[in-house]
């Protein structure tokens, strides 16, 4: 009896079908991370070009879609690494929601304290509205904060790799992430919770 594992052949991906089979998924994946139609299209195109160049090295350990998505993730990271070289907004331009008075330092300013979001998240229509507002608020973040938030929170890339990709220190990463979260929270509360 022949061992069927020895007869296993290398997968034969068909690049002619990539756009038809995976184009929409890859575009939506890219768009959800960059919120730009043009950039998402460019990243998907670059993904297909890179995949074509490395087609011979595809071993088939994962599905074709998983392989293409991994290439696209790398393209998204590269995009943010390149865009993170833009000048960062200095801390003095950031409006902190915390008190600076010695007796109450570090406590929330009453008007800017977090609101209760729970009741607004149950309904699927509310979830769609929230997603749209989240994307809008993400687009308002300074480029480096946006990059940090996408890579660390949405892509769940570890801190050391994010720091390496964006050329920042771990403490700077956490400051930017903290500021991005505060600004996102405030924007979402203004646009969504009104």
15 backbone dihedrals φ, ψ, rounded to 5°: -60, -25
What domains can be seen in the chain, in order of their start residue?
13-83 (1.10.1740), 120-193 (1.10.10.10)
Provide the pLDDT for residue 6: 45
Strands (E) across 49-182 are located at none
Q: Give the pLDDT score at 119.
A: 54
Contacts of 13 (CB under 8 A, 6+ apart): 55, 58, 64, 67
Phi, psi of 20 (to 5 degrees): -65, -45
* Residue 63 scores a pLDDT above 70: yes
Q: Which residues are 98's β-sheet partners?
A: 108
Model confidence over 71-128: pLDDT tens digits?
998 888 888 877 766 555 444 445 555 556 665 555 555 555 555 545 555 665 567 7
Burial letters for 72-109: b for 16+ Cβ neighbours within 10 Å, e otherwise?
bbebbbebbbeebeeeeeeeeeeeebeeeeeeeeeeee
Calpha distance 31→41 (Å, rounded): 8
Beta strands in the chain (DSSP E): none
User: What is the reported pLDDT for 93?
Assistant: 45
């Amino acid at each position: 009896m022949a061992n069927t594992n020895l007869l296993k052949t290398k997968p034969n991906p068909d690049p002619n079908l990539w756009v038809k089979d995976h184009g929409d998924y890859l575009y939506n994946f890219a768009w959800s991370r960059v919120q730009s139609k043009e950039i998402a299209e460019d990243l998907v195109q670059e993904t297909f070009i890179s995949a074509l160049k490395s087609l011979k090295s595809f071993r088939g350990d994962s599905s074709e879609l998983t392989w293409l998505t991994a290439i696209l993730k790398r393209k998204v990271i590269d995009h943010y690494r390149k865009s993170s070289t833009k000048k960062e907004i200095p801390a003095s331009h950031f409006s902190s929601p915390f008190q600076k008075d010695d007796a109450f330092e570090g406590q929330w300013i009453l008007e800017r304290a977090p609101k209760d979001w729970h009741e607004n998240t149950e309904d699927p229509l509310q979830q769609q509205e929230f997603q749209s507002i989240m994307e809008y608020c993400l687009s308002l973040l300074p480029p480096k904060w946006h990059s940090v938030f996408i890579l660390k929170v949405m892509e769940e890339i570890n801190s050391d790799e994010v720091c390496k990709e964006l050329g920042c220190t771990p403490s700077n990463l956490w400051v930017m992430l903290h500021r991005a979260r505060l600004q996102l929270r405030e924007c979402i509360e203004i646009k969504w919770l009104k």
